[in-house]
Every structure is written in C-alpha cells, then in structure tokens.
Structure 1
Amino acid sequence: MKKKILGVAIIATLAITAGWNYQQNKQNTDFLDLTLANVEALARGEGSSACETLCPKSGYMCILRYSDGTLESCPDRWS
C-alpha cells in the first residue's frame, strides 16, 4: 500500500512539474516575440537603416523579411 501511495505521489509531482515548466516556457516565448518586434522596430527607426546595418555590400541585392511578414529590399547595397 505504501508503494502505491508513493507511486501516486511521484506521478502527481511529475505532472505538476511538467505543467509548471510548460507555463514558464509559454511566457518566455511571448517575451521573445515581443523582444524581436522591438528590435525590428528599432532597426527600422532612427539612425542608420536596417539595410545599412544588416546587409553588407556584397554585390547581391539584399531583402529583409520581418516577422510580421513585411519585406524591405535594399537595392543600394550593390557594389
């Protein structure tokens, strides 16, 4: 009987731990999405453009795809 109680307690502890871990990971994902959106907004904003920052002058056309689905082409990066 003690083994059954111990087994049920271990299974309950594992289930609670898994649920807590899932919730923590879900919150981290939301935070990462928000952080990425902020970085992209800053890259589009003041100062040097995202093209200058992210696209080297390599002789190829650079196209940036943002997480919201928008595209930005950087044709002036040809050299």
Structure 2
Amino acid sequence: MQAEAYSNVRNNLKSFMKKVNDDADAIIITSRNGEDNSVLMSQDEYDNLIENAYLRSSKANVDHIMKSWAELKAGKGKEHSWE
C-alpha cells in the first residue's frame, strides 16, 4: 500500500481513483499533521471488506461457515437451483 500526500491526491484525484480500481489496492492519503490521514480504495474492495467483516462478526456465523466448508470438502455439498 503506497502513501501519497493530500495535495498530490487532490491535484490528481482521477488518476488515483483509476489506480486503486486497476490495482485492487488502497492508497494512504497523508496529511501534514498525520492526524487526518485517510485511505482511498475502490468500491469493490470496500464492499468486500464490509462483507467479510459482517460474515466474521459473530462466532455462530463463523462456526456455521466453517462447518459448511468442511462438509463441502468432504463431498457432502448439494447443488441448488437459483430459479
């Protein structure tokens, strides 16, 4: 993850937006005082981060996912139609 000064990002925002989308990586936007640093990332990466945080938000959910994964690896998976 690279860091860029706020003024550089401000002056080149479009190119940095393209970069985070093309590279699937975030950029740390640094401020002079270091207290207002922020992160620029693609919406896809953000959505993925939020979804993963939700999926891991409770022990019961993690246990269910792990049990389901083990069943799938053991050949006990079932195919379902989405129709």
Which has the greater radius of gyration?
1
Whether TM exceeds 0.5 here: the answer is no
Q: Which has the higher helix share?
A: 1
TM-score between both structures, scaled by the size of structure 2: 0.31
